[in-house]
A and B are shown apart, each in its own frame.
Chain A
Amino acid sequence: MRRMRSPSALAGLVLVLATLVLAVVGPWLWGEEAARFDPLHILEGHSADHPLGTDDGGRDLLARTLAATRQSVWLALLATCVTTAVGIPLGALPSVLGPRAARLVSGLIDSLVAFPVLLLAMFAALIAGAGARGAVVGIGVAAVPGLARLTRTLADTVASSDYVAAARMLGAGRTAVLLRHVLPNIAEPLILTVTANLGYSLLGLATLSLLGLGVQPPDYDWGRLLHDTLPRVYVDPEAVAGPALAVAAAGIGFALLGESLARAAARTPDAVPRGESRTVLPPGCGPLPGAPEPVLEVRDLSVSFGGTTPVRGVSFSVAPGELVGLVGESGSGKSLTALAVGGLVPYPGTVSGRVLLGGRPLEELSRRELGTRLAMVFQDPMAALNPALRVGSQLAEVATVHLGASRKEAWRRAVDRLGRVRIPDPEANARRYPHEFSGGMRQRAVIAMGLMGEPELIVADEPTTALDVTVQKRVLELLAEVNETTGAAGLLISHDLAVVSLYCRRVLVMYAGRIVEELPSSQLRRARHPYTRALVASSPDLSTDRSLPLATIPGRQPEPAEVPGGCAFAPRCARALERCRADRPELEDGVACWNPEDA
């Protein structure tokens, strides 16, 4: 069983099994000795006959500790039964009741959860009377709010699922839905929680008995033994150690087992690949000769995660003031290329190849230079702004951190930049929080943030995908305008060929981690790579003949782990030759194809 691999679950299982075995055999094996009075040896410490010493009746404490297992576990079991019998129906009640009554019950559960468990237990024990019965009721009742709330939350999740909605549509009553659909689906987490509860009941009962409010003599459980031996902790600590360790081991065992199983059941397998993160520099990375020096120069860039390499040997450059588009389907490696250009590939990714910004390798640039000369815009503007900070101070930060501006200057600059991206009333809006902004305004604010420095390059990764169509256009126009007025070059990454061709002069087409074609956007209709042709054919524009079905590309892009040896597009390509499957074409003359279409 995969779930048992976690060390805490395993430790819990061992402890629980040991406890259960002891609970069964304990009183048989040691019950007699535990009850044998020996007036000659009362209150003794550790000795060969009595490893943990004796109590005030001369009874052996080790035997009493072992024999008390059954009573302790039994009472915990009873208390858990009380919790389960009350908690689950109470938590399920809101799904059966009408909306108003359901809210009332939910409110009651919520306010009960706020009370300390031990105090609830003491309150209940006070009413039921000090003794085993009172303690069981007290501990059992005290755990009810927690279990009820969990039940309600779980039931709510299931109740909003499609199959429950379907059952409702078919006319099933609330109770039927609860019994047939909801409860069976939340049974597993509930059972695991009840297991953990058993542990907490055990500890709770021991606590109550320790305080003298639980089991009363002549009965004894671990807590009662603790109560009796506690005053001797200063003289014979071993007398306390026995029952203390027993109760801790058993309680922790149940709690660990239940909780780690519940966690394992809730967790989806984590997909983070393993590996070392490091940047491999090829030898000799000085500036390359050649006039006008590009703002961005990417040479043979690869990004790998463990065994897979989603970006493979990508090379391109962006001239000052140029707006270059990078297009490809999702999974083509274009976003990782953008992150690599920003030096932001997340752990455990490995980057190899060269990225030169203004002729200097990324690694050599200081934090300050990177923070001011390079700006990045990400896809989801809601997520890209820190929800807890005012928009203005998130912008101003760039100036205070990197430009040594005073807070006042930085704020003024932030307001100015917000104005430049046409945010209305920038003074007032700078003081607002991101959630008070619309999607378009947020993306403008992110662009404004990039303008806080003197950016030479703006990398925009799907900047408009998360926005409405009408807002998209305005944000793109803003980017183009910034490019024109500040002279900052831009790398616009998109899956939308139409968007890219409208705003960029040059387009790079990526497929399965490689650039397969590089061409001016005016030439897109005469692209030579079959993949680019297919992309153009499958993106509709005003001139598309609506009477014909929209062209699609058969097959799918290979996953990074399964890219074939030859041309990655060959399996989907109508023009593929023998050679395409065997040899990989390099990017030559702007196209990586053995059998390009005519220009």
Chain B
Amino acid sequence: MFLLRRAIRFALSLVLVVLASFAMLHLIPGDPVRAALGPTAPREAVEQRRAELGLDRPWPEQLKTYLGKVATGDFGESFLSRQPAGQVIADRLPATVQLVAVTMALALLVAVPLGMAMAARTHGGRGRRTELAFTSVTGGLSVVPEFLLAVGMIALFGVTLRWLPVAGKDGAASFVMPVLALAAGPAALLARLVRVETLRELSSDYVRLARAKRVPAVRLYLRHLLPNTLTAALTTGGLLLSSLLGGSVVVEYVFQWPGLGGTTVEAIAGKDYALAQAAILVYGAISLTVVFAVDVALGLLDPRSRPRMLG
């Protein structure tokens, strides 16, 4: 029942994204084809292109064609290169997914243990200095924009120390800087959240009872606390993942990563509307899928969330 509700909501959101990507082309003031081909293009060329794209037909018919095409995986072709947009995306998407997946894994692996350790260290008002240092550092990191970290790291590790490659995607070393630039903010936010959640759980009665049972500390944290804090960590992690997608666009641009982000920026700057439309559709669908997947995972993981979500 809960799954069904989530699935319906997911499907509706997807439809919304498809409609928005369709509407995009029609919301652009003026003629997108004219804008893409430039003011010097001959009128016949523009007219011909419009006809090719079906833009001269009434919009309900266009919508029907568009929906049919999207359903069969046909995203049209790039205004500029005339390559199929689906092909361009299929070429570029894997690099983006790799970058984001590695980043997310790193952020979780660092943030959850760090947050729990900090909670253990600062529980009940002890370790004031540790607490201040932790909150200041993570607070700062969580607002520093990705591009600043990226530029700083390029200047330091790439140009001055020459330890790491400054751009492109070529082997494990090329992942280091993009992943760090992208992971710092989310990891900091997540670590803060895990700490706060763990602190709250630490003062609960079941932890007191577990302590009364003299459960060893490792077991207390891993078996008793972790499942209870993971819910919040995953919820936020899911939202962070979709913001990571946004951040990845910038990081890809700065590091000239051969992913979808760079292509999207080029497409928007170059008024290649068909490609931009397809890219935004794909990004939207991915972030919705992520949120949906996290929701479902939470529902299955946390026995309490099931009845609550029914209500």
Number of B residues, CB within 8 Å of A: 76
Number of A-B contacts (CB under 8 A): 210
Q: Which residues of A contact B12 (CB under 8 A)?
A: 111
Q: Main SS of chain B's interface residues?
A: helix
> Once bound together, how far apart are the Cα atoms of A212 and B267, in whole Å?
11
Q: Main SS of chain A's interface residues?
A: helix
B215 touches A237 (CB 8 A): no
Q: Is B212 an interface residue (CB 8 A)?
A: yes
Q: Is A348 an interface residue (CB 8 A)?
A: yes
B145 touches A203 (CB 8 A): yes
Knowing A126-B276, A226-B147, the reply to whether A449 touches B126 (Cβ < 8 A) is no
> Once bound together, how far apart are the Cα atoms of A352 and B273, in whole Å?
75
Specify the chain A residue showing the minimal Cβ separation from B265.
Answer: A211
> Once bound together, how far apart are the Cα atoms of A397 and B139, in whole Å?
38
Q: Is A415 an interface residue (CB 8 A)?
A: no
A196 to chain B, nearest CB (A): 9
> Once bound together, how far apart are the Cα atoms of A371 and B20, in whole Å?
61
> Once bound together, how far apart are the Cα atoms of A368 and B214, in whole Å?
7
B133 to chain A, nearest CB (A): 11
B269 touches A212 (CB 8 A): yes
Knowing A118-B247, A435-B303, the reply to whether A252 touches B140 (Cβ < 8 A) is yes
> Once bound together, how far apart are the Cα atoms of A252 and B276, in whole Å?
31
B154 touches A233 (CB 8 A): yes
CB 8 Å contact bits of B109-128 with A (1 = contact, 0 = none):
00000000000000111100
A115 touches B242 (CB 8 A): yes
A127 touches B148 (CB 8 A): no
Q: Which residues of A contact B244 (CB under 8 A)?
A: 116
B132 touches A435 (CB 8 A): no
Q: Is A370 an interface residue (CB 8 A)?
A: yes
> Once bound together, how far apart are the Cα atoms of A462 and B165, in whole Å?
65
Q: Is A383 an interface residue (CB 8 A)?
A: yes
Interface residues on A, range: 35 or more
Contact pick for B132, options A7, A126, A226, CB 8 Å: A7
Q: Which residues of A contact B123 (CB under 8 A)?
A: 347
CB 8 Å contact bits of A98-117 with B (1 = contact, 0 = none):
00000000010001011111
Known A115-B287, A116-B283; further 11 A-B contacts with Cβ < 8 A: A118-B250, A122-B264, A233-B166, A240-B155, A241-B155, A260-B139, A342-B212, A348-B126, A371-B215, A389-B223, A401-B213
10 closest cross-chain pairs (CB), A and B? A118-B246, A116-B246, A371-B214, A388-B227, A383-B205, A237-B155, A272-B125, A347-B124, A376-B212, A384-B205
A: which residues have CB within 8 A of B? 7-8, 107, 111, 113-119, 122-123, 125-127, 129-130, 199, 203, 206-207, 210-213, 226, 230, 233-234, 237, 240-241, 244-245, 247-248, 251-252, 255-256, 259-260, 270, 272-274, 277, 342, 344, 346-348, 367-368, 370-371, 374-376, 378-380, 383-389, 397-398, 401-402, 433, 435, 446, 449
Can you list 13 A-B contacts (CB < 8 A)? A7-B136, A111-B16, A114-B287, A118-B247, A122-B265, A123-B24, A126-B24, A233-B155, A376-B208, A380-B205, A384-B205, A401-B214, A435-B304
